[in-house]
Chains A and B, each alone.
Chain A
């Protein structure tokens, strides 16, 4: 067996991988040395002061009480250092670069479906270019899954209730594992795939391969087949609100509260339109719960996004709120 068949450390495939590894290695060195110190102390003390006929009695002598303060204070300071470093990294992972390429992922028992904004669809394989941030909008059709890229050191649980996002920027070309990390039933361990990181030119060639039109244009077709366009005519006097320029903008609701029209707002407004009625509009839109698949919802989302929006489009999910300026 070759040593390459028996790795002890995962390959680094993304911009954050090195940063996560750095924290891991520093923590390993600190905790490893403290643990070894404790083991040695136990071993040495337990041998040196072992019970012998001469040493039946423990000596009535204790280490200085000051030690207590030392081993409360010093670990605490080190722990706080670990906390700050870990939190700093977590915030970095949550901050999505502006120029990210959009990819949509749907988890379902037991496969990963990926849709590109240019319209390509793939299952259990994801083609991405090297050196460019990729933002993945995540949805689940059934239970909770978790999209895990070990070589990129990131994962995110995929929820059936709302959209979440994650991002990475691959640093080298190659083929890397995709795993489902949240137990999801019978074929959980079969819900795996590969991410193919390609040179940008190869990626362009791959994109040029067949598709049924861009994701937004597929969404536009759905917009017509579901007859959304009969009310959302994008005319201010129509029965449904104007969708042009909606994405990422502030929407005033019937109760005068204001919400941001992000991915999850749009998703909810399709599935459960009565939940957040726009001011001035009646509860006339039917629910599309159970009538539009998660894949199609993402297409509709891509279409609505393509209609333009507020200057800084907001990514979905709570964790990215701090990104708004």
Chain B
């Protein structure tokens, strides 16, 4: 066994051209694959379709909101559209996005492993996801659901006459996909690191995925229980949440947010991991305060479990418990702030390349900051009473989930695209898309903060006329955003055939994934790598490469 040293990095373009894509062909070589890379690709296809579908519902909502009157869609249709938008984007796109696509593809390679610990369970996860997705699609085709993605009782159990059972059943199934993926990652990270790859040599993406997996494993079963009880009450009419049957509607909210608040961290922690990878790669620097960034992921995962009732400050909980949840919510803001400051500090005396993944991540840091600081407003009890359930909340969580998680997903897609496909995307078009997404996003959601403080409630099909100007701005922004998101679909597919060959390490980045060929061979590495360097050891690597190579 020979070790791959930094010095070898640019020289090991292997002669063998067999890779995971051309090792075998045929539908079943994909549908029955146990290769983590192919499963990652399967996820990429599935969630891209879901993203397009969820985006369609978003666009229809924005078009409806161009005018104060409810004139484009009926109120029932509008209610179904925002419900489906939320359910699809959260359960079927954001939660699997970075972990199931990038985590699946990149994580084992970053660890120097041949595959995940349980390849068959990995495939099972994708099938569970697909079953859940088909149940969801069946619901959409047969009439939809109008409860909001939160399924609040007793509306969902007694009053809604739409497909609540089917939808919650779909979310229930897809939850198991998430649990199994988390379990698989945890075991892999513990057991399958390459020789010499100690915990503090791990890329920060691995730390972030580790923290995410802990949350997936511990929180998602609570969602399963909650949705099961909801289905049970809806079908059998046993009083659990419905007061008319002797249940307690607030119990539902507690149980729902016990999962759904940590779920926010399932979405944002991997995004933070991507940010660390990309910042390091495009500054050629070790992330400032590596251990702080690593442990802040774990701190967020832990504290994320203790703040759920901050969604319920006006719901009728006691003011003393509200006080405790507000207090703890400010705690969770600290590790998030640590990360932002550390990424910024990494730029100091760096070599910053303004390439597309970096543009997306610089945008991510800015938008995540806005999303984070507006969370401070919502955690302030007396202020939350006014802004909760308004467009202020809508803007806040879109800054975190779209400005944060989706931006990072696109950054990851561009950053690892050469590794996944062996081809470069067209840089000019990609930069344009990053710019459009950033501008469009801000134009869409900044006005919504103002709308929210003015008092426009969320989930409104029609609204008071004085809110129109800001809504028109928001819809205009959404159109730009849609173009920004649509562009990659075209140029990435184009690049599969016409893109430049990527080579082993197009970015001049360090990390085990940049030591194997692009696309990687089926077994990832021809020989098991031995790690002798710290994460992001750029000075050593660049010395090895010499300063002449211009990337």
Are A and B bound to each other?
Answer: yes
A150 contacts B454, C-beta separation under 8 Å: yes
Chain A residues within 8 Å of B337, by CB: 71-72, 75
Bound form: Cα–Cα A95–B276 in Å: 47
Of the 9-residue stretches B113-121, B126-134, B184-192, B381-389, which lies at the interface with chain A?
B381-389
Taking CB atoms and an 8 Å cut-off, the chain B residues in 203-246 that contact chain A are 243-244
B381 contacts A89, C-beta separation under 8 Å: yes
Is B314 located at the chain interface by the 8 A CB criterion?
Answer: yes
Kindly identify which residue among B347, B383, B538 contacts A24, using a CB–CB cutoff of 8 Å: B383
Of the 9-residue stretches B30-38, B281-289, B523-531, which lies at the interface with chain A?
B281-289
Contact with B along A158-171 (1 / 0, CB 8 A): 01111010000000
A17 and chain B: residue at smallest CB distance: B386
Bound form: Cα–Cα A173–B366 in Å: 42
Chain A residues within 8 Å of B199, by CB: none
B152 contacts A153, C-beta separation under 8 Å: no
B386 contacts A75, C-beta separation under 8 Å: no
Is B340 located at the chain interface by the 8 A CB criterion?
Answer: yes
B459 contacts A183, C-beta separation under 8 Å: yes
Contact with A along B367-383 (1 / 0, CB 8 A): 00110011011011111
Chain A residues within 8 Å of B313, by CB: 90
A58 contacts B351, C-beta separation under 8 Å: yes
Taking CB atoms and an 8 Å cut-off, the chain B residues in 351-409 that contact chain A are 351-354, 362, 365-366, 369-370, 373-374, 376-377, 379-386, 388-390
- For chain A, which range describes its interface: under 10, 10 to 19, 20 to 34, or 35 or more residues? 35 or more
Chain B residues within 8 Å of A24, by CB: 377, 383, 386, 453
Bound form: Cα–Cα A189–B313 in Å: 22
- Knowing A58-B538, A72-B338, A79-B334 are in contact, say whether A63-B362 is a contact too (CB < 8 A): no
Which label, helix, strand, loop or mixed, suits the secondary structure of the B interface?
Answer: helix
B75 contacts A186, C-beta separation under 8 Å: yes
Kindly identify which residue among B318, B333, B380 contacts A318, using a CB–CB cutoff of 8 Å: B318
A183 contacts B152, C-beta separation under 8 Å: yes
Chain B residues within 8 Å of A51, by CB: 284, 351-354
Is A102 located at the chain interface by the 8 A CB criterion?
Answer: no
B335 and chain A: residue at smallest CB distance: A72
B330 contacts A35, C-beta separation under 8 Å: no
Is B160 located at the chain interface by the 8 A CB criterion?
Answer: yes
B330 contacts A161, C-beta separation under 8 Å: no
A183 contacts B382, C-beta separation under 8 Å: no
- Knowing A49-B347, A159-B249 are in contact, say whether A183-B148 is a contact too (CB < 8 A): yes
B319 contacts A94, C-beta separation under 8 Å: yes
Is A303 located at the chain interface by the 8 A CB criterion?
Answer: no
Q: How far is the CB of B68 from chain A (nearest CB, A)?
A: 10
- Knowing A31-B376, A159-B250 are in contact, say whether A87-B382 is a contact too (CB < 8 A): yes
Is A281 located at the chain interface by the 8 A CB criterion?
Answer: no
Is A292 located at the chain interface by the 8 A CB criterion?
Answer: no
Is B344 located at the chain interface by the 8 A CB criterion?
Answer: yes
A183 and chain B: residue at smallest CB distance: B459
- Knowing A9-B453, A189-B461 are in contact, say whether A58-B154 is a contact too (CB < 8 A): no
Is A82 located at the chain interface by the 8 A CB criterion?
Answer: yes
Kindly identify which residue among A38, A55, A82, A90 contacts B344, using a CB–CB cutoff of 8 Å: A38
B383 contacts A10, C-beta separation under 8 Å: no
B539 and chain A: residue at smallest CB distance: A60
**Number of B residues whose C-beta is below 8 Å from A?**
94
Is B124 located at the chain interface by the 8 A CB criterion?
Answer: no
- Knowing A86-B382, A93-B385 are in contact, say whether A59-B373 is a contact too (CB < 8 A): no
A177 contacts B464, C-beta separation under 8 Å: yes
Bound form: Cα–Cα A190–B369 in Å: 35
B288 and chain A: residue at smallest CB distance: A62
Bound form: Cα–Cα A325–B431 in Å: 64
A83 contacts B379, C-beta separation under 8 Å: yes
Is A312 located at the chain interface by the 8 A CB criterion?
Answer: no
Kindly identify which residue among B284, B326, B455 contacts A87, using a CB–CB cutoff of 8 Å: B326
Bound form: Cα–Cα A45–B385 in Å: 39
Bound form: Cα–Cα A5–B68 in Å: 13
Chain A residues within 8 Å of B381, by CB: 86-87, 89-90
Q: How far is the CB of B401 from chain A (nearest CB, A)?
A: 18
A53 contacts B462, C-beta separation under 8 Å: no
A90 contacts B327, C-beta separation under 8 Å: no
A57 contacts B376, C-beta separation under 8 Å: no
Chain B residues within 8 Å of A91, by CB: 319
Kindly identify which residue among A46, A181, A318 contacts B354, using a CB–CB cutoff of 8 Å: A46
Taking CB atoms and an 8 Å cut-off, the chain B residues in 449-463 that contact chain A are 450, 453-455, 457-463
Q: How far is the CB of A72 from chain B (nearest CB, A)?
A: 6
A1 contacts B469, C-beta separation under 8 Å: yes
Q: How far is the CB of A20 from chain B (nearest CB, A)?
A: 5
Is A42 located at the chain interface by the 8 A CB criterion?
Answer: yes
A sample of 18 cross-chain residue pairs with beta-carbon separation below 8 angstroms, ordered by A number, consists of A1-B469, A27-B383, A38-B340, A38-B366, A39-B369, A50-B354, A56-B549, A58-B285, A61-B348, A159-B249, A159-B316, A161-B249, A184-B155, A188-B75, A189-B459, A189-B463, A190-B75, A319-B318
Q: Top 3 closest A-B pairs, CB basis?
A: A89-B382, A150-B455, A86-B380
Residues of A within 8 A of B (CB): 1, 5-10, 19-20, 23-24, 27, 31, 34-35, 38-39, 41-42, 45-47, 49-51, 53, 55-63, 65, 67-68, 71-72, 75-76, 79-80, 82-83, 85-94, 109, 142-144, 146, 148, 150-151, 153-157, 159-162, 164, 177, 179-190, 192, 289, 317-319, 321-322
